[in-house]
Structure 1
Amino acid sequence: MPRPLALVGLAFILMISTSRADTGSPIRTVYQVPKTAQAQEIYREMRARRVLEGLREIVSMVRLPQTLTLRLSECDGEINAWYEPKTRSVTVCYEYIQDVRDRAYRATLPAGVTYHDALFGTLAQVFLHETGHALFDLLDVPVLGREEDAAD
């Protein structure tokens, strides 16, 4: 995703993350409580910023036939994110978020791009990518070409 588009997506997520309460959305949000101290810090930050609720606002623009779960979870050290068709859930690991944080801290960011932009823009991109897989599944959308490319 080009940087300007990622920043627009990030701004949109942050803007709507404090908007209206859930009104029966078929999208659940789950912040699984982690065991490790490092993941607990990320858990607290993500909950405080209502990241999943912001993503729910975006995804809820699509009428889904079944409930979709957006989840943050500790993954036993695995840096990963995925869509699971059996449970109709998109999961991003706290370890993935920590990896993005570490890379953002070490990176020389372009002028005008903050650490916050780098972290939350990347998080929005991975959630929306995995949600693309979910939409293909839940809406029975035919995919032309590679599914990974189509999900982007």
Structure 2
Amino acid sequence: MAGNGGYETTGNDYSETAVYNEPATPEYTPIFGEPSRADLTLLNHIGGSWRCRASKETIKFMDYGKAFVVDSKNDTYLVLYSVDGKSLRFQDKYDTSGTFYFTGTVEDINDKRFILRNDKTGEQYTYELLGPVEMTGYEAQLLLSYNSLIHTLIVGERN
């Protein structure tokens, strides 16, 4: 997953020293449309864990190469990952114990929109990715809409 070489960075307000080793680029199927339209650049840097600036929590990816993170209100975030390269699952976490409290299934993916269904209650949530993932150094920002509310997730340097 990680190659040789790399470098250290310091001096931000949400992470201590972070060592970065370039991971091998995983093969993956873009989740939203063609790579030129909505390539999730973050996927090229998956390998290990990243720190979320907003909640200062460490986000551990469930599947190297086919995962991304969606922020919601109250430091809730969704970790979406591929089961078989086609379907997706998600887990929702919001408490500080580190326990995922329910799982669900992506019901529909249409271009940049996806519908999540809670496996237990059947409740559905519709998200829309509003633009491409923006990379600044080793930070990734996702802008998305949920029920007409706009949320932004900033994933910071990898731990």
More helix per residue: 1 or 2? Answer: 1
Common fold, TM-score beyond 0.5?
no
Normalising to structure 2: TM-score of the pair?
A: 0.27
More strand per residue: 1 or 2? Answer: 2
